[in-house]
Amino acid sequence: MINRLEDIRKLVKRYLKYKVAITFPCQVLRPKEITCIQDGRTGPQAFRKILKSLNVEIIDYPKEHECCGATALLFDEEAGVSHGRAKLESAKVHGADVISAACGNCLFLLDRYQNKIAKINPDLRMPVVSLSQLIGISFGYSKESLGLKTAVAFDFE
């Protein structure tokens, strides 16, 4: 897909007005000794390049490369929720309207656990969508055809 960014640009039918925060899958960035990928600007750029080809405004935020906490749910729900809260707080404070994830675990925690995450601060609530759903939205597909049922309403039409 990364080799076909120009083809992607040609298929865009809808431009999103939202500021998008990216959350990277832990398995992509960690452990550094195995992946040889460093955090920060030297980290993987494919996700960012694909979203830019859709003309999506991407915001930077300090917790972008931090774990969302989904794995922690397996052994300590509060720890998982705490990590998710930190991720949402960081994204929200830096201007995000939507979080885009390339990992099913991130989607699960940040979307399905938002009631618990935002219990302390309801203003943290925001839509969480997958990279493929953002691509589908930009290509003009409907919410129904994309199975887009986020915990928070996401209006793009």
Report pLDDT digits (tens) over 65-95.
888 899 898 899 999 999 999 999 999 999 9
pLDDT of residue 37: 55
Could you give the CA distance from residue 45 to residue 27 in angstroms, rounded to a whole number? 15
pLDDT of residue 34: 55
Beta-carbon contacts of residue 106 (< 8 Å; ≥ 6 apart): 23, 25, 68, 70, 128
Topology at the third CATH level for domain 2-146: Rossmann fold (3.40.50)
Reported as type and span, the H/E element at residue 128 is: strand 128-130
pLDDT of residue 42: 47
The alpha carbon of residue 13 and the mean position of all alpha carbons in its chain are separated, in whole angstroms, by 21
Residue scoring higher pLDDT (1 or 57): 57
Is the pLDDT score of 134 beyond 70?
Answer: yes
pTM value?
A: 0.84
